[in-house]
Amino acid sequence: MADLRTNFAGIKSPNPFWLASGPPTNTYGQVAKAFDQGWGGAVWKTIGEPIINVFSRYGSVDLGQNRMMGFNNIELITDRPIAENLKEIAEVKRNYPKHAVIASLMVESKREAWHTIVKQTEDTGADGIELNFGCPHGMSERGMGSAVGQVPDYTCQIVEWVKEVATIPVIVKLTPNVTDITYIARAAVKGGADALSLINTINSIVGIDLTTFEPQPSVAGKSSHGGYCGPAVKPIALHLVSAVAGDPSVKIPISGIGGIATWRDAAEFIALGAGTLQVCTAVMHYGFRIVEDLIDGLSNWMDERGHRSLADIRGRALPRVTKWEELDLNYHLLAHIDQDKCIKCELCWTACEDGAHQAIRRLPRDNGGPVVEIIEEACVGCNLCAAVCPVKECITMRPVKNDYAPVSWKNYAAGKGKLAPRSEAFHTATWSSSSKK
C-alpha cells in the first residue's frame, strides 16, 4: 500500500488529509472524532478575541439538483474564549500525539498581540501555527484577515513579528482576493514563513431571493459579501496553487485548499505541488466519514500507477503548466464522432453551430444513419463538442499528424519556425453551408 505519511515543513501526519480551519474544527469533540475516523490533521477554527456571530451564516449555490456546488459563509472566527480553545487544543494533542494539530490565529495587527497569542499557542503543544490572512468578510472590516493578506508589506510585517517568538512551523494562509497572489506569497516568504496554505475563500454574493430581493444568506433582510468555497472554486484554487508552487522565489511547502471533496481532487492538488490537503466544505456537506475514501481512493490510485509515496507525485504536473506563448501551434486536433455510440441528441451540432466554429453538419434524421458529422476542414479541435456530448468517449479529439516541427507563438513571433497549413474555413463564416436543413 502506498505510503501516505506526510512531513509538511516539519509537521508530521499519518496522511495528507487535514481539516481546514472552519466550523468542523471548532471543538475538541469534532477534531477528536475526525481523527478517530482517519483524518491526518486539523487546523483549528481561527482563534482570536472572541467575536459575536450573526445567526444566518451560510449560503449555497446548487447546480440543478446537486446541492452546495458552491458555498459561502459570513461566519467570523471562533466565538469561544481563547483560553478554552487553547485548553482543548492541548487536550487533542495530548490524546492524538501522532496527528497534526495546527492553531489558526488572527489578532489585531499589533506586535504584542501576536507575540502573546503565539506564545500561548506554543504552550499547548500544537504542531504548527496558521496565520489567517485570508478571511474576506467581517474581520477584514476590522483590519484583520484579508485586510492583512491583501497588502504584501502588512503580510511580511506580521509574519516577522510571529517568527520573532515562534519555535514551531508557521503557515501563512493566503487570500485569493488579490490581483496577483504571488506578490503576497513572496512577502510571506520574505517575512520568514515556513509554509503557505491556499486558497482562503473568495468574495461572493451567492444569490438574491427574487421574492424579497434579499441577498443570501439573509440577516434580517440584508446580507454582506461572504467567502465562497466548495467544488465550484477548485479550478481557481488549482490555478493559484500552481502559480505559487511554480514561482521560483517561493520554495516553501504549500497546503492546498479549495473545493477538495474527493481523492481525485486531492491528487490534482498534489500534482500541482501541494504537500497537504485541507478540506472543509465537503465535510460540512457529508461529514468526517468522507476521509475513508479520500485515503482509500488515493492509495489505490497510487498503487495502480506505481507511485509509492506522495513525493513521487508531488509537483508532477507543474512542469506542464506553462505560459500560453510556449504552447505548440502546430499541434492539430480533429473531433471524431463514434457513430455507434451516438444517441442522436445533436447537442454537439447546436453547440458547434452557435457556440464555436460551425464544423458539424446535420444529416436528416429519417434516413436511419448518422445525424451529425464533422466538417473536417472547419474543425479547430476546440473540444466543445466533446465537452457537451452526454455519452462518454463518443466524441474524441484526435491528433492530426503533420510534418511540421513544433512552434510556439514566442518563437513564431520572433521569426523562428514554420506554421503547419491551416484550413481556409477557420477564418470564414460557414453557417450557410452547415446550418441549412
Partner 1 sequence: MADPTGVLSDEQLAANFADIAPPLTNDAALLEADKCLFCHDAPCTIACPTHIDVPAFIKKIASGNLRGSARVILDANPFGHSCARACPVEVLCEGACVLNDRDEQPIKIALLQRHATDYVLDRKLKLFEPGTRTRKRVAIVGAGPAGLACARDLRRRGHDVTVFEAKAQPGGLNTYGIAEYKLKADVALAEVQDILDLGVELKTGVSVDSIETLLTKYDAVFVGIGLGSTKRLGIPGEDLPGVVDALTFIEHLKTHPYRETAVGRHVVVIGAGNTAIDAVTQAKRLGATTATIVYRRGEHDMPCYHYEYELAKRDGCGFRFNAAPQRVLGNGAVAGLEVRTTGGTETIPCDMVIVAIGQGARTELTLPKDHPNVFTGGDCANGGAEIVNAAAEGVAAAKRIHERLSHG
- The answer to whether 345 contacts partner 1 (rule: CB under 8 A) is yes
Tell me the DSSP string of 237-300.
Answer: HHHHHHHHHT-TT--S-EEEESS--SHHHHHHHHHTTEEEEEE-HHHHHH-GGGHHHHHHHHHH
Q: Is 379 a catalytic residue?
A: no
Using CB under 8 A, pick the residue from 218, 346, 420, 435 that binds partner 1: 346
72 DSSP β-pair partners: 59, 228
CB of 156 to partner 1, least distance (A): 48
Give Cα separations from 137 to 72, 78, 85, 204 (angstroms). Answer: 10, 14, 22, 10
Using CB under 8 A, pick the residue from 125, 362, 409, 430 that binds partner 1: 362
Task: Find, among 82, 87, 89, the residue nearest to 49 by Cα.
Answer: 82
The answer to whether 52 and 71 are in contact (CB under 8 A) is no
Could you tell me which residues come within 8 angstroms of residue 291 by beta carbon, excluding any fewer than 6 positions away?
17, 34, 37, 38, 39
The answer to whether 312 and 277 are in contact (CB under 8 A) is no
Q: 226-229 and 202-204: which strand pairing?
A: antiparallel
Binding segment (CB under 8 A) for partner 1, from list 78-86, 117-125, 283-291, 347-355: 347-355
- The answer to whether 249 contacts partner 1 (rule: CB under 8 A) is no
- The answer to whether 416 contacts partner 1 (rule: CB under 8 A) is no
Binding segment (CB under 8 A) for partner 1, from list 88-96, 163-171, 307-315, 339-347: 339-347
- The answer to whether 391 contacts partner 1 (rule: CB under 8 A) is yes
Using CB under 8 A, pick the residue from 365, 398, 416, 418 that binds partner 1: 365
The active-site residue out of 135, 156, 280, 385 is 135
Binding segment (CB under 8 A) for partner 1, from list 184-192, 297-305, 340-348, 378-386: 340-348
CB of 337 to partner 1, least distance (A): 14
Binding segment (CB under 8 A) for partner 1, from list 101-109, 300-308, 309-317, 343-351: 343-351
Instruction: End-to-end CA distance of the chain: give it in Å, rounded.
Output: 58
- Amino acid at residue number 243: A
* Residue 344 vs 416, nearer CB to partner 1: 344
Instruction: Write down the residue that cell numbers 491528433 correspond to.
Output: 399
- The answer to whether 343 contacts partner 1 (rule: CB under 8 A) is yes
- The answer to whether 211 contacts partner 1 (rule: CB under 8 A) is no
Interaction pattern, residues 53-82, with partner 1; x per rule: CB under 8 A: -----------xx-----------------
The SS3 call for residue 93 is helix
Site size with partner 1, rule: CB under 8 A: 13
Instruction: Write down the residue that cell numbers 500507477 correspond to.
Output: 305
Site residues (vs partner 1, CB under 8 A): 64-65, 343-347, 349-350, 362, 365, 390-391
| Catalytic machinery residues | 135
